[in-house]
Amino acid sequence: MRLRAPVLDEAAGVLAVLIARDIADLGAPDYTLEDLRDEWRASEFDLSTDAIVVELDNGQIAGYAAVGAPGTRAAVAPECEGKGIGAHLLHWAEGRDRDLGRECHRQWIAAGNLRAQRLLSAAGYCHERSYWRMVCPLAHGTRATTMPVGCELRALDVDRDAVALHALDAASFAANPDYRPESFAAFRDEHLDAHDLDRGLSCVAVHDTTIVGFLLARRWREDAVVFVDLLAVHPRWQGRGIGGALLQAAFDRSASAGLREAQLGVASDNPRALALYERAGMSPRFRVDTYQRPVR
């Protein structure tokens, strides 16, 4: 067994570990090859230092971990559990956090991964918060949406809107407990240049010429799913129905495009957003938890 940085042409082998982990913990894959390539191509991610694989003596990739801005994602192939691979990945991730000067270690795991929970608890980690994957079927037929006087919805223009969306994202989420500042380059990499961003399903809300809210939607073609990547409304405009209007517009467009289901993620300590999604008919399918402890 050896730990080393992955190389670009090993993406399929790493993906196999991630998919096997998803199936074991969530019941279905929740990651694609293009998702992984987007992560590896990001301008603030260095594959040689921010990711690692565990390779067995027979050449099989049995584990993978990557340290990103929100925290660490680690996965061990289910058939390779019990070999100490998770402990090796945890030790490496903590060292990388220290190299980056971070104040706390943060790990993301599926709620069903009991072995990872025990490993993190034994290492002094505490459950920080949870994230629910919310889902609902899409129905054909446009429903009326109400916008504040002077506001309207228009199509997303990535190049024209990028800077304003980055600033609005920060203003909208800065008060949330899980908010982490993100540079413009990282924001654009993760959200606006994502391989599956669908500009036709995304939209922005404007008052005069100022963007006061936006929704970025991803189209998962093979599953006929629209995934709401980001939904943000400026604090001064919250509570006026803009979030609901953006959501309904995305759902209507997605149903008209032949998609069958909508999905998104929401933090357990964001009751305003959770209530909005429940009013839109969404319900939880699975949960991902974050664990953290201070860097010693």
pLDDT in tens, 230-262: 999 999 999 999 999 999 999 999 999 999 999
Domain residue extents for the chain: 2-124, 135-286
**Residue 128's pLDDT is what?**
95
Which 8-state DSSP code applies to residue 197?
B
Question: Distance between CA atoms of 213 and 238, rounded to whole angstroms?
Answer: 9
Contact 183, 243 (CB under 8 A): no
The size of the chain, in residues, is: 296
168: left (phi over 0), alpha (psi -120 to 50) or beta: alpha
Instruction: Name the helix (H) or strand (E) containing 3.
Output: strand 2-4
Backbone angles phi, psi at 102, to 5 degrees: -80, 155
Confidence class of residue 204 from pLDDT cuts 50, 70 and 90? very high
30-58 pLDDT, tens digit per residue, is 999 999 999 999 999 999 999 999 999 99
In order, the DSSP letters of 228-283 are EEEEEE-GGGTTSSHHHHHHHHHHHHHHHTT--EEEEEEETT-HHHHHHHHHTT-E
Nearest-5° Cα angle at 158, 152 to 163: 90
**Residue 149's pLDDT is what?**
82
Domain 2-124 part of CATH 3.40.630.30: yes
Question: Which top CATH class is 135-286?
Answer: alpha beta
Does the reported pTM lie above 0.85? yes
Read off the pLDDT of each residue in 145-168 and give the average, rounded to a whole number: 92
Asked if pLDDT for residue 142 goes beyond 60, the answer is: no
Tokens encoding 257: 């495009």
Contact 197, 34 (CB under 8 A): no
**Residue 27's pLDDT is what?**
94
Strand partners, 215: 203, 231
**Residue 256's pLDDT is what?**
94
Closest CA to 75 of 122, 133, 119, 45: 119
Asked if the domains at 2-124 and 135-286 fall in one CATH topology, the answer is yes
Helices 33-41 and 11-26 sit at what angle, rounded to 10 degrees?
120
Amino acid present at 201: L
